Structure 1
Amino acid sequence: MSLSKGIWSTFNRRSPSLALRNKKLQKALLSPNLPEGPFSLKKRSSKIRYISPTGMDEIYPLAYQFLEKQSADVYKKIENMEKKCNVEQSDELKRTLTKLQVEAEENNPEVVYNAMFGSNLVDRTQPVYRHYLEQKWKDYGRMLIMQRLESLAVIPDTLPTLEPQVEVKMKFPCNNVERWIEPGDILSSNVTSRPPMLEVIEFEECKRGLYTVLVVDPDSPDVENDSYSTTLHWGLKNVELSNQDGIIDARKLVKNPDCEFASYLAPTPEKNTGKHRFSVWIFRQKKEIDGFREPVGRERFDIRKFTADNELHAVGAHVWRSIWDRNVNNVRKMYGMGEGRVFAREKV
């Protein structure tokens, strides 16, 4: 019994990104009896020994046809809904349309496979892929970032709270660190000597959005007040992001240098000041920011006042930690920062 050639096999109204690119994998995934064995098995001997579960030849095509028929019915609803959206253009209609687009594809085996095993390469302009990415993030990533922000007291030492709406990923490729940094990781000053690459993953439809990025250190020693103050280490505004392009890196900033209102100041914790928390905050902008009400200074940076004055809404965050190490002096020389201070445990 073979699979039907219905809505999931046509791309006149559907994006080609909803299908598997690898034809051999596609054939293996959609073949009930797997005549050549599972694609995941590499050895020919293992493929030959493979026996399909009893009844799979009959059940799989029937299940596929049933789900595909449901999808076709939903696409008919979508067609009618799109006509209404063209007339009314209401937010409620758009949200309903997005839900239907997810419903039409969420049981498609090819879509499910792409979402599970190729999530870094999926087409984020498709609502169903954003749906699966958001589910995966809510199951782990969102809880992890909130746990780190709260346990490290980044909340409330920087901003009072956060309701995460986007996933923020970070790495330092300029320093040959290609792995994604887990929130709260302790990084060498050599690793963080150049700006990070950030990826902001929006789960809502976003064709063009403007964002502000702030990297702050709330653990800068304030000797005069025998306390700590916040230092601004990086400031970006009017960064244009979308579902298709959520990357913030050096190449993008070269094309639009006006985005950077505070150049990257490499973290160089001074000796005996303990671990410093470098928090990355992502804000959605209501409108383009031409200038600021007050001059932006690095030292004693009031992040709460800054965000309130510029009507910025925090939607995501990340954090890493650094402590004084042998690379600090070299990094300070690289940026012309002079010798760092050495703090004693007791007042002299």
Structure 2
Amino acid sequence: MRQGIMPIGSRRRRAALKTSANIPFEQLPYQCFQEARKVLQADREEKLEMIAKERLRLKNLEAQDASVSGGEKQKQTRIESIKRYLEYLKIQADINDPLIKKRFEDGEGDMNKPIYRYLADRKWREYQRKIIVQRLEQFSIVPDLLPHFEPTAEVRLAFQARNVQPGDYVDSRVSEFPARLKVQVFDKGERLVSVVVVDADVPNVENDHFNTRCHYLAANIPISPVQDSLPLSRANPESQLILPWLPPFAQKGSPYHRYSIFVLEQKPGQVLDVAALKELYQRDRFNLRGFKDRHDVQPIGLGLFRSEWDEGTKGVMQRAGIEGWDMEFKRTRIPALKPKQKARGWEARHASDKYKSLRR
């Protein structure tokens, strides 16, 4: 770890490896371990037989005439049901395999296989997803930006070499350059997504409330379980990029700004018209709900960070050509509505100039 290399596996397994004579994992000379592997292998063989039967059923159903199955819609419903059951059986066939768990702990799992996607999803839901859901409530992302949101994909946020935890404060000089996302989905297949970066706390002095601003907007970005890297700086200007990266900033005196990075999944086969979207959307007063409803996209993941005025904000705003770097927001003093009370007690008795020296 001192050399910057993270150890592989749990502490318990690393300690066990030190005491073993470099024997392959599946050949460890422990009778109980080998007997347990025989039981697991027999269970796996049973699951493989069930998988073969279901594949035969699926093949026969696909070759069957739709009129026999109750129509094309009913046939497709049954096909999807069998496919889901097949995925379940594939997971159950490998869920107890110690070699599978070893590869997953070592980070060597193939995310094209259902078992590794299942294990990754379960690990994410045990901790990281709970943090995201808690931040959604803590920072009122729901309902300020969206009426409802259930994360189904893991989104890791980073600026250059710094990894950002959900809700962290990020220095304006660090966030001056586009972020890098790692979006891990847990269902098979490639899909197109849109990425939206929204500031939910833009001060509106005239109306005494806050507006929203879009700092980045891109569409038609492909991701899959094995293609999870999503650097925002590499979006294609012609077919993907709608609004380029605007450095996050918070003017002096304003409260911290909440920056939400939403990943929205597009419908299968849906390709958004980037040229039309460039004409349609502006940065100021960007409505995320309207974008979601208009283009029928579904939010699946979220990255979240905060920004406030710091010593580098002025330079960031000047380099980006953003106005207002020389402004400072101050709270308006509101006079009390309660009428002033007459002096009573000690104050009334000592109100004359005779006791002026006693007053503060």
* 1:128 pairs with one of 115, 125, 136: 115
* 1:270 pairs with one of 216, 238, 251: 251
C-alpha separation in 1, matches of 2:256 and 2:61: 54
Normalised to the residue count of structure 1, the TM-score between the two structures is 0.79
| Structure 1 partner of 2:203 | 221
Greater Cα offset, 193-202 or 337-346:
337-346
Residue 270 of structure 1 deviates from its aligned partner by 0.5
What does the per-residue CA deviation read over 1:45-88, in whole Å, with 9 as the maximum and x for residues that have no partner?
Answer: x669xxxxxxx822110000110121122122222322333444
Instruction: Please list, as runs of the form range in 1=range in 2, the aligned pairs for 1:227-246 lying within 5 A after superposition.
Output: 227-246=209-228
Question: Does 2:97 match 1:108?
Answer: yes
C-alpha separation in 2, matches of 1:154 and 1:75: 45
| Structure 2 partner of 1:57 | 30
* 2:299 pairs with one of 306, 309, 314: 314
SS of 2:225's partner is coil
What does the per-residue CA deviation read over 1:265-319, in whole Å, with 9 as the maximum and x for residues that have no partner?
Answer: 1101100111100011111111111244971010011111121111111112121
Change (3 A) 1:293 1:311: farther
Question: Does 2:177 match 1:199?
Answer: no
Q: Name which one, 1 or 2, has greater alpha-carbon Rg.
A: 2
The count of aligned residue pairs is 295
| Structure 1 partner of 2:143 | 156
Change (3 A) 1:47 1:99: closer
C-alpha separation in 1, matches of 2:232 and 2:301: 20
Question: Does 2:155 match 1:182?
Answer: no
C-alpha separation in 2, matches of 1:252 and 1:70: 47
What does the per-residue CA deviation read over 1:96-151, in whole Å, with 9 as the maximum and x for residues that have no partner?
Answer: 11111111111111111222342xx5221110011111111111111110100111
Name stretches of at least 5 consecutive residues in structure 1 with no aligned partner.
1-24, 30-36, 49-55
C-alpha separation in 1, matches of 2:223 and 2:111: 12
Normalised to the residue count of structure 2, the TM-score between the two structures is 0.76
| Structure 1 partner of 2:72 | none
SS of 1:267's partner is coil
Residue 239 of structure 1 deviates from its aligned partner by 0.8
Amino acid corresponding to residue 100 of structure 1 in structure 2:
L
CA RMSD of superposed structures (Å): 2.4
| Structure 1 partner of 2:332 | 346
- Determine what percentage of the aligned residue pairs are the same residue: 28
Question: Does 2:132 match 1:145?
Answer: yes
Change (3 A) 1:251 1:225: closer
Contact 1:292 1:310 in 2 (8 A): no
Query: Could you list the runs of 4 or more consecutive aligned residues of structure 1 that deviate by over 4 angstroms after TM superposition?
Result: none
C-alpha separation in 2, matches of 1:334 and 1:98: 52
